[in-house]
Amino acid sequence: MGNRSAWEAASGKYVQEHHELLDQARYSSSLTAVELEVLRPLLADAPAVVHLQSGHGLDDLALVAEGARSVVGVDFSSVTVTAAQRRADELGVNCRYVIAELPGAPLRDGCADLVYTGKGALIWLPDLGSWAEDVARLLRPGGHLFVLEAHPLVPLWTWDEDEPRIRPDRGYFERSHVNDTFPAGGAVEYQTTLAGIITAVLGAGLELRHVAEHAEPFYRWGDLDAAAWRGRLPNTFTLLARKPR
């Protein structure tokens, strides 16, 4: 099964969990503290946001609640897009969803004040150079790219609960690996080093404004309490870049 059909199948979860996700959106925010720290000053200007690989769309509802004027989500899963549109419509939130394979968003040049992405997005893209070019095209001059993503070292850590270990079968400089953990077991994930991600962003002509590495993962799965998540190792990074005026 290709990654697109795998995502169509995996996204059925968001249809089944429609009411839980609606309640989550009503009573909590999916944006993390590290995201809000960087995004709040930008959200104060009521940006038009484009969310690449928008998935379940909870972040879009939270971005509007924090000040975004509108969000356009782009994702290649018709199941996830339909579910996210239904939730936004039921909540009366200004989000619109488009089904498209990325990079190559079918949106006009310069339409975004802010391109938002991450939380398990970049690992599905083999060529971040083309992705960054697409981001730069979507941004208006002076607009920003924001990413909160798993740290590229994460595939190397085991999720043992007693102590963190380095997997003998993975390499930081490999181009891909097969995911063997929840929720993407069996899927091919692409690897780009942190330097590779930053080089792609700079190569598209964007100016780096912020990059930081964090110990906290962007998501914790069920009751799992991996030792790798207890503060000694990097699990996520945030990046903010600006298109020159």
The residues binding ligand SAM (CB under 6 A) are 3, 7, 53-56, 75-77, 80, 101-102, 118-121, 124-125
Determine contact, residues 233/213, Cβ cutoff 8 Å.
no
Partner residues linked to 240 by β-bridges: 146, 210
Report the residue number, 67 or 120, with the smaller CB distance to ligand SAM.
120
Determine contact, residues 100/127, Cβ cutoff 8 Å.
no
* Both structure tokens of 8: 């169509």
The nearest distance, CB 53 to ligand SAM, in angstroms, is 3
Distances (CA, A) of 226 to 27, 31, 69, 142, 229: 28, 22, 38, 40, 6
- DSSP per residue over 187-198, as a string? -EEE---HHHHH
Using only C-alpha atoms, what is the Rg of the chain?
A: 17
* Alpha helices, H only, 44-149: 58-65, 78-91, 128-138
Report the residue number, 196 or 227, with the smaller CB distance to ligand SAM.
196
Q: Helix, strand or coil for residue 71?
A: strand
The nearest distance, CB 186 to ligand SAM, in angstroms, is 14
The nearest distance, CB 55 to ligand SAM, in angstroms, is 2
Report the residue number, 21 or 241, with the smaller CB distance to ligand SAM.
21
The nearest distance, CB 30 to ligand SAM, in angstroms, is 7
CA separation for the pair 204, 160 (Å, rounded): 38
CA separation for the pair 157, 217 (Å, rounded): 12
The nearest distance, CB 61 to ligand SAM, in angstroms, is 12
Report the residue number, 7 or 146, with the smaller CB distance to ligand SAM.
7
Report the residue number, 66 or 161, with the smaller CB distance to ligand SAM.
66
Residue nearest ligand SAM, Cβ-based:
55
The nearest distance, CB 143 to ligand SAM, in angstroms, is 19
